[in-house]
Amino acid sequence: MLERPNDFLVSSREYFVLFAAIVAALAILFNNDAPQLDAIRGYAVDRYAAFHVLADWKTWRDYQPEEVSALRQRTTQLLLENSQLREAYLENVRLRRQLEYRERAQLELRAARVLFKESNSTPNTVVIDLGASAEVKANMPVVTPEGLAGKIIKVNQHTSHVQLLLDRDFSVSARIQRSRVLGIVTWMSAQDFEMTGVARHADVTAGDVVVTSDSSALFPPGIRIGLVLKPTVEPTGMFRKIPLMPAANFARLEEVFVVMTANRNLRSNIAPNAGKGE
């Protein structure tokens, strides 16, 4: 029995010194931006994700996860097909006029659970429970039943990081579905999006649906992005200010779908790092 608390500190001082040295060294080490540490972080996220799933077992206890996941996947597939069919119909009308036809890509989706949001991260990302082991690759689009959610930016063995549409560095080529006006959708602040680069006299009205365009290098055309709120024109501006309401509900992002099908029209023809920032 040690007589004074101070004796404990003195007799254990080598452990305290070792602890302090390890903490200091780890703090320095994890400030590096080296591939080894990226791999360690990815490994740690994979392990944490596995623990997270185990800790959340109560949520999964009362229902059949495979069945629910399959149904959600089917619902999303149908909703996306519906959106694409509408897109295809409008396109068909237009193409018929021009006597041209182009094959539409069929989307293959894979359901993923959103494990957690990276709260202090820039860019604005979430981690999902699909990784390289499920053949997920960087730049694959991520959708919800309502519409586009983001894209994969980093793949670990069993998890992936999804850059959300809410990120300031995320932008996507888009069209007004009705009038085929082309523009770029970018995040402005909080839940506000804008479609930029649209001329002031372009045909855009409130309620118009905005979808991904066929000139996107990463995203299949026809995926819903959002709805036009109230377009305005600055008195001296050349462009219209087109605020959007996003289709996907980012406040309740629980399950998403990774689009596994490549955009056959464009993706096979571009360099691996093309489309950064889109």
Residues 153, 154, 155: CA angle, nearest 5 degrees: 130
d(CA 240, CA 140): 30
Q: Which is nearer to other proteins, 27 or 99 (CB)?
A: 27
Q: Which is nearer to other proteins, 26 or 199 (CB)?
A: 26
Q: Which stretch binds other proteins (CB under 8 A): 11-19, 72-80, 106-114, 219-227?
A: 11-19
Q: Which is nearer to other proteins, 8 or 43 (CB)?
A: 43
**Which listed residue (14, 62, 67, 100) binds other proteins by CB under 8 A?**
14
d(CA 213, CA 100): 18
CB 138 within 8 A of CB 152: yes
Q: Which stretch binds other proteins (CB under 8 A): 28-36, 133-141, 204-212, 214-222?
A: 28-36
CB of 23 to other proteins, least distance (A): 10
Q: Which is nearer to other proteins, 34 or 238 (CB)?
A: 34
CB 115 within 8 A of CB 154: no
Q: Under DSSP, is residue 193 helix (H, G, I), strand (E, B) or coil?
A: strand
Give CA 101 to chain center in angstroms.
31
Residue 207 is given by DSSP the state T
CB of 131 to other proteins, least distance (A): 14
Site for other proteins in 171-190 (CB under 8 A): none
CB of 24 to other proteins, least distance (A): 7
C-alpha atoms less than 13 angstroms from C-alpha of 245 in its C-beta half-sphere: 10
Q: Which is nearer to other proteins, 29 or 206 (CB)?
A: 29
* Sites of contact with other proteins (CB under 8 A): 13-14, 17-18, 21-22, 24-32, 34-40, 43
